[in-house]
Amino acid sequence: MIKAVVFDLDGTLANTFDDLRASIDDMRAAFGLGPISYEQMTSFINASLRGFAEGGLGGERTEEEIEKAMKIYVDAYAVHYIEKTCIYEGLPELLASLREKGVKIAVYSNKMADYVKKICIKLYGEETFEVLMGPDGITPKPDPMGALIAAEKMGVSPAETAYVGDSVTDMKTGIAAGMNTIGVSWGFTAREDLVAAGAHKIADTVEGLGEILASL
């Protein structure tokens, strides 16, 4: 059995969509833009902070506009980040089961590390995760650096680690890191896109994810 799991956060461990969208809408309003559509939002929802600014504004933007948008988004997310964010049903029990089996658990998100920690501790408690990381100071996903750092911190090799996420970016990250890469279809990406991105396995339910992890 694998010795560790690195989870994505948004769309994987937590449904953060409404709070992310509210923050993007606040950012867009500052530029005289209306609310963002679902399709626009899902096109960049697993991006880094800069990707959120660029995707949220759309079109060609100057560096000054992007910098301004990032600051506005950060301030808005500080207000909205935990208003509607919630756990996907069944995940607390799955994580507890993994821990009982001695499997170490990390979270690596393209979200700022401070919010990764705040959200994960609020939703899952302080004892659940070995590592809580954002891309602070490193190249964000799909670069595998963060996933590899998480595995190193847990004292396991990539081959002993499963990477679980809901996006094409996550699939690219896990594969590039040399990890057993599992896509979950309950997040923000269509199942067929996860398959096309090269996911080794797809979990359509939390129960199914547990079965896949137990088989590795």
pLDDT tens across 129-184, in order?
999 999 999 999 999 999 999 999 999 999 999 999 999 999 999 999 999 999 99
Contact in structure between 134 and 111 (CB atoms under 8 Å)? yes
Band of pLDDT at residue 61, cut at 50, 70 and 90: very high
If residue 5 lies in a helix (H) or strand (E), which one and from where to where? strand 4-7
pTM over 0.85: yes
Eight-class DSSP state of 145: H
Of 58-62, 120-124, 189-193, 200-204, the one with minimum mean pLDDT is 58-62
Mean residue pLDDT across the chain: 96
